[in-house]
Amino acid sequence: MAQPITIGANSIAKIGDRFFLIVEVEAKTTGVEIDPVFGVRTTAQQAAALLRAGVKRTKFEDSDPKPTRTTIVELKGVLFANGRIFKVFDVENATSDISVLVRINLAQAQRLIRNGTRIIKVYRKPF
């Protein structure tokens, strides 16, 4: 039987001079599918160690990723980090599951939030 809670997309984002671990937690079982994304501030040393261990770098794009026949794209929320604002997408296909960040302005963020898009929780103090 599969574990009901797993880690989905996970990557290291460098936003300005700060590093963040972007993580999707997936909870799935009969009748339940919960998959929030969180940001966790890390130190430069933690980020470097995680990258060396195989954690991928977060992708930054200029425009929203597009779904294809083999790729699922889901808007997960709005991220406020280090004075910048991003739309966060989960982009998943048969071989990868990664977060993609698209920079937006405050007006765009407010519009998304008013229309029901979640704010991504960020743990701002490194562990």
List the beta bridge partners of residue 29. 32
- Its pTM stands at 0.91
Q: Vertex 125, ends 106 and 33: CA angle to 5°?
A: 70
Q: How much of the chain exceeds pLDDT 90, in percent?
A: 92
Which two tokens mark 61? Answer: 């794009």
CB-based contacts of 26: which residues, under 8 Å, 6+ apart? 5, 6, 7, 8, 34, 35
Backbone angles phi, psi at 56, to 5 degrees: -80, 160
Q: Determine the pLDDT at residue 1.
A: 64
Domain limits, the chain:
5-123
Residue of 64, 65, 79, 72 lying closest to 118 (CA atoms): 79
pLDDT in tens, 61-101: 999 999 999 999 999 999 999 999 999 999 999 888 999 99
Is pLDDT at 116 greater than 70 in this prediction?
yes
